[in-house]
Amino acid sequence: MTQPGKVIYTAKTHTTGGRENGISRSSDGRLDVMLSPPGSPRTGTNPEQLFAAGWSACFESALALAAHKKKIKLPADLAIDAEVDLHLDNSAYFLSARLKVSIPGIDRSIAQGLVEDAEGICPYSKAIKGNIAATYIVV
């Protein structure tokens, strides 16, 4: 485990109602979402979608840092499709996930190296390592 460094940001949210019929708001008012179970016809998102969005955004920034270190210019149409699966096995819930990374115009072996470097940079990727099955796919 790495030693904590200087805190540069703290996200604060207040959630009530959980995934079934909840609301989550950030302390700065920028996030205000209704929550609902996956597949529900009710208005709202679910924690898996929020995790996928946060992780893919963080990973794209990590890719940019990895590319900058190698003096590689990333294309404007770089994209990440995140898929987060919620599993149920013997009354236990767990997650698995895939990040499908598209870096058009970059040689596949170079793109794969950037993805591997980003895995070691992205705080989300480091947090889940060894905790959930995650696959990183260059598409």
User: What are the φ and ψ backbone dihedral angles of 74, each rounded to 5 degrees?
Assistant: -85, 150
CB-CB contact of 83 with 35 (8 Å): no
d(CA 37, CA 40): 5
- Whole-number average pLDDT of the chain: 95
For the chain, which domains are there?
A: 1-45 (2.20.25.10), 47-138 (3.30.300.20)
Q: Provide the token pair at 13.
A: 């949210």
| pTM of structure | 0.91
138 — pLDDT class (breaks 50, 70, 90): very high
d(CA 60, CA 80): 7
Question: Per residue in 38-47, pLDDT tens?
Answer: 888 999 999 9
In sequence order, what E strands does the chain have? 13-16, 23-26, 32-34, 79-89, 92-102, 133-138
